[in-house]
Amino acid sequence: MSTNQTTTANAIERRKATERRTQESSKHRDERLRLQRERSRAAPEQHVARYRAQDQERQQTSRALTRTSFFRLAFEYSADINYSAHSKIAIGPMDQICQYCQALKFRYEPPGMCCSLGKVVFLSLLSPPEPLQLLLAGKSNEAYHEKPIIVRYNFRHGRTSN
């Protein structure tokens, strides 16, 4: 609904309310005003209750994020919590380079994780034989048609081999 439509709808509603009130009996008017007074008296209490409920929720959220253990935290999941900002979850960029094998690693990854501190030496990959090389390079006309098939094939095997 546009702003003009909303303004028009509000003006129509105000006119209808005015008509209803002019036709209203004094008994109905007193009752309506009494209910209105009760609602306005209860409004601050409702506001405080709502604020307390929101504050309690915020405290639960904060407690959930400051817990040292994440055990069974998935069962208390809340969409309002930014879990990825937690220091135990934000592992940072993969910008550490192993001095032995030049593997990219995360900051707190153990030093021997990739090559066992240089004890394991990886052989360099050999170029694949033709016509696989041509297909992988993607320069031929056949590669243009074959590559999507290979990607789908690898994807399906990856899904079933986990």
Nearest-approach distance from CB 140 to Zn ion, in angstroms? 36
> Does 93 sit behind a cis peptide bond, omega within 30 degrees of 0 on the bond before it?
no
Q: Give residues in contact with Zn ion (CB under 5 A).
A: 98, 100-101, 103, 114-115
d(CA 160, CA 162): 6
Nearest CB to Zn ion, comparing residues 7 and 116: 116
Nearest CB to Zn ion, comparing residues 80 and 95: 95
Nearest-approach distance from CB 110 to Zn ion, in angstroms? 11
Neighbours of 99 (CB within 10 A): 10
Nearest-approach distance from CB 152 to Zn ion, in angstroms? 33
Nearest CB to Zn ion, comparing residues 8 and 116: 116
Length of the chain: 162
Nearest CB to Zn ion, comparing residues 98 and 136: 98
DSSP 87: T
- Residue number, nearest CB to Zn ion: 98
Tell me the C-alpha to C-alpha distance, in Å, between residue 60 and each of 85, 106, 158: 16, 31, 40
